[in-house]
């Protein structure tokens, strides 16, 4: 996803792409075992506009993902959606020599070199940031019983849950007046 800055009209331009489900494999190679897999293409919609040398990119991604629930370990599918806006500016010749306090708009700004903007890394970052650390099949998922391992969403277990962490045992008789 490369665009020449001069080819982006000030009024804007819209581009749509589809990337295959393996598009992020190079970025995810360090993952030991993933609890998710992309199913089908990753859909990317970009709206590019320009003011002088500053390029604004509004993007929307959608991808179908198969997950393993972090609580009950059951597989489920869900569509991952994300939108973001970023500004691209020409990289300055030199960086400030001292520490600079970042403003909010600085966090939404990236730099480009030359006459082209390369958007693949930014869009890949957007997809990766949209992936939750712990995906749940549903918010009210009850998970697994820590003793017998039964899926508490399907059936109740009859385990006694009165065990207290031995480190917290002294607090059992604590009273506040």
Among 71, 66, 67, residue whose Cα is nearest residue 153:
71
Domains identified in the chain, total number: 1
Domain membership flag for residue 168:
no
Burial track 26-38 (b if 16+ CB lie within 10 A, e otherwise): eeeeeeeeebbeb
Give every CB contact of residue 97 below 8 A, 6+ residues apart in sequence. none
The C-alpha atoms of residue 170 and residue 177 are separated, in whole angstroms, by 17
Please tell me the predicted confidence (pLDDT) of residue 30: 64
156 domain-assigned: no
For residue 110, give both structure tokens. Answer: 């990236």
What does pLDDT average to in each consecutive run of 10 residues of the chain (177 residues)? 84 89 80 80 92 89 92 93 89 71 74 85 88 91 89 87 76 79
Residue 111 within any structural domain of the chain: yes
H helices present in 67-142, as ranges: 104-107, 120-130
Residue 76 lies inside a defined structural domain of this protein:
yes
Using one digit for the tens of pLDDT, what is the confidence trace for 134-160? 899 999 999 998 888 899 999 988 887
Q: Domain residues for 67?
A: 2-141
Task: Tell me what pLDDT residue 32 has.
Answer: 64
Q: Report the pLDDT value the prediction gives residue 3, as an integer from 0 to 100.
A: 86
Residue 177 lies in a domain: no
Q: Rounded to an integer, what is the distance from CA 108 to the centroid of its chain?
A: 16
């Amino acid at each position: 996803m490369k665009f020449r800055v001069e080819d982006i009209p000030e009024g804007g331009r819209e581009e749509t792409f589809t990337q295959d489900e393996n598009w992020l494999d190079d970025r995810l190679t360090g993952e030991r075992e993933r609890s998710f897999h992309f199913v089908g293409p990753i859909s990317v919609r970009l709206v590019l506009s320009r003011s002088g040398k500053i390029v604004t990119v509004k993007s929307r991604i959608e991808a179908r993902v198969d997950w393993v629930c972090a609580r009950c370990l059951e597989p489920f599918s869900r569509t991952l959606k994300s939108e973001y806006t970023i500004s691209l500016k020409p990289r300055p010749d030199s960086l400030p020599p001292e520490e600079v306090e970042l403003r909010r708009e600085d966090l939404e700004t990236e730099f480009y070199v030359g006459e082209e903007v390369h958007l693949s890394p930014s869009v890949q970052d957007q997809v990766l940031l949209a992936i939750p650390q712990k995906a749940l099949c549903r918010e009210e998922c009850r998970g697994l019983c820590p003793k017998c391992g039964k899926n508490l969403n399907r059936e109740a277990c009859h385990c006694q849950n009165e065990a207290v962490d031995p480190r917290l045992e002294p607090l059992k008789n604590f009273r506040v007046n």
